[in-house]
Amino acid sequence: MEQRRVVITGIGTINPIGNNIKEYFQNLEEGVSGADTITAFDATKFTSRIACEVKNFDPTAVFDRKELRKYDRYSQFALVAATEAVEDAAIDFEKIDLERAGVIWASGVGGMQTFYDEVMGWAGGNGTPRFSPFFVPRMISDLAAGHISLKYGLMGPNYSVVSACASSNHAMIDALNLIRWGKADMIVTGGSEAPVIIPSVGGFSSMRALSTRNDDPKHASRPFDKDRDGFVIAEGAGALIFEEYEHAIARGAKIYCEVAGGGMSADAYHITAPHPEGKGAINSMRLALEDAGLDVADVDYLNTHGTSTPLGDIAEIAAVQGLFGENAYKMNISSTKSMTGHLLGATAAVEALACVFAISKGIIPPTINLEEVDPQIDPKLNLTPNVAQRREVKVAMSNTFGFGGHNSTIVFKKIEE
């Protein structure tokens, strides 16, 4: 069966270095860090007291109070990003088939703040079960997709994907395939997360996964650097409108780039640690390129998972060199988590937008805070240290890997008429 082409016609975001696409792209180019001391709660007793939080976001300026009762913060972010993407795509919903337009969204943990608040309210009460009727709808991970479909009347495929930090790539790959196979014409896809809360910071801290560079947060997320000590937790959302090519052309939509392919695999090695030889990552990248009909020599830019953890960065670079061979030295590699921090289930969506930026602007976003490359990493690799680099990007790919050994890779390419 001949597969239909899929393109991106709208983009939106709210994240630690930009409350919209314009801000995000500008700060990607300038190498701005979104990290600072946590303001969401008193973190003075935690080993990690820093995060990449969304700045200057007032939900009451976006939603009325009646609406807000229904939305956990992760759903608020989802709606903000999706609204920008829909407006950017200039969709006239009266002129499209709403039964062939859907939402496939991702979140690693969903409304954990809601769950925490309700349980703490119960524990601090007098034993009488008093729970909000909005408790379950605010908490569960699929409701962001539901809220987006409700807002726009989208009646096509609608569900959520949960695969830890690989979630958004899996959601986008599902969206790609459903459109390819003729099951939908348009899908709002991406992911959102709001994990800068006591349970998440406490849990990741106890695992020693988070950076403890508390006195210097701007330099705490430092992928591939010899002095990295863990990731910086982050919040936000990224949204993309995936659309069948002919459908987009027929309605005169602008096109950012083509979604070329995706790959998925599992490490089957450890619940949290990556395979030391990067076998699962190699398979994910290889399958993505095969699905896209491309070769390793075609890739100009790789946005790595690059979390700034001691084990993860080494394993990923080993996988890159294992698959790309000599071609690894010809492409740009970077980790935009050095700027945004790690948005968990939303991270792939925000990093997909960084790939769109690279293709559409011809600018590779840098890996900031890279002062001295880890001695286990070949210094001849172009890790795009500290300053953005200009080059034509015809093909960009993005990795995300999650606890449980989940691996996902998506490939984008410059549109060819």
- Residue located via tokens 């946590």: 38
- Residue located via tokens 């729970």: 131
Three-state SS sequence of 350-399: HHHHHHHHHHHHCEECCECCCCCECCCCCCCCCCCECCCEECCCCEEEEE
DSSP string of 197-224, one letter each residue: SHHHHHHHHHTT-B---TT-GGGT--TT
Distance CA 86, CA 75 (A): 16
Structure tokens at 9: 């016609």
CA proximity to 315, closest of 284, 357, 356: 284
Indicate if 165 belongs to the active site: yes
CA proximity to 113, closest of 57, 51, 196: 196
Given the residues 147, 170, 342, 406, the one annotated as active site: 342
Given the residues 147, 170, 275, 305, the one annotated as active site: 305
Indicate if 257 belongs to the active site: no
Given the residues 165, 170, 247, 275, the one annotated as active site: 165
Indicate if 342 belongs to the active site: yes
CA proximity to 337, closest of 223, 224, 238, 230: 223
- Residue located via tokens 């005169």: 252
Distance CA 303, CA 321 (A): 14
Quote the distance between the C-alpha of residue 409 and its chain's center. Answer: 12
**Length in residues, the chain:** 417
Distance CA 386, CA 174 (A): 34
Q: How many other CB atoms are there within 10 angstroms of residue 59's CB atom?
A: 15
Torsion of CA 11, 15, 17, 19, to 10 degrees: 60
Distance CA 163, CA 90 (A): 31
Active-site positions?
165, 305, 342
